[in-house]
């Protein structure tokens, strides 16, 4: 997946957001499109989520078929609950997996 600088910046901001949610969130920090940098770029696109790396990988919109689905199931326990924090850690791991892999120089063996 090729990512431009704007999308990469939003992905990194989303990763920071989920890292906080999985540990100690900031006051008034929540989940959903109003609190996600990636959603800020892609949620209102037509068609919805077009170009979002989450949507491209999952083949779905609105973060369906991702760990976010589990987050929605456990939100009833509250954002400071153990259940939510565990689900947030999975979402964080998923988002980190979307970061571009650094190219390592190939070393030719003789």
Per-residue model confidence as pLDDT tens digits over 11-39: 999 999 999 999 988 888 999 999 999 99
Q: Give the whole-angstrom CA distance, residue 33 versus residue 63.
A: 10
Residue with tokens 């003789």: 110
Contacts of 8 (CB under 8 A, 6+ apart): 99, 100
Neighbours of 11 (CB within 10 A): 22
- 51 phi and psi, to 5 degrees? 95, -10
Rounded to the nearest integer, the mean pLDDT of the chain is: 91
């Amino acid at each position: 997946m090729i990512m431009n600088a704007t999308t990469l910046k939003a992905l990194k901001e989303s990763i920071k957001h989920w890292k906080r949610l999985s540990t100690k969130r900031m006051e008034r920090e929540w989940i959903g499109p109003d609190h996600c940098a990636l959603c800020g770029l892609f949620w209102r696109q037509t068609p919805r989520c077009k170009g979002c790396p989450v949507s491209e990988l999952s083949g779905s919109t609105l973060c369906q078929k991702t760990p976010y689905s589990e987050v929605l199931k456990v939100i009833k326990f509250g954002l400071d609950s153990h259940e939510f924090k565990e689900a947030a850690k999975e979402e964080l791991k998923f988002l980190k997996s979307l970061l571009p892999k650094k190219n390592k120089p190939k070393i030719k063996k003789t």
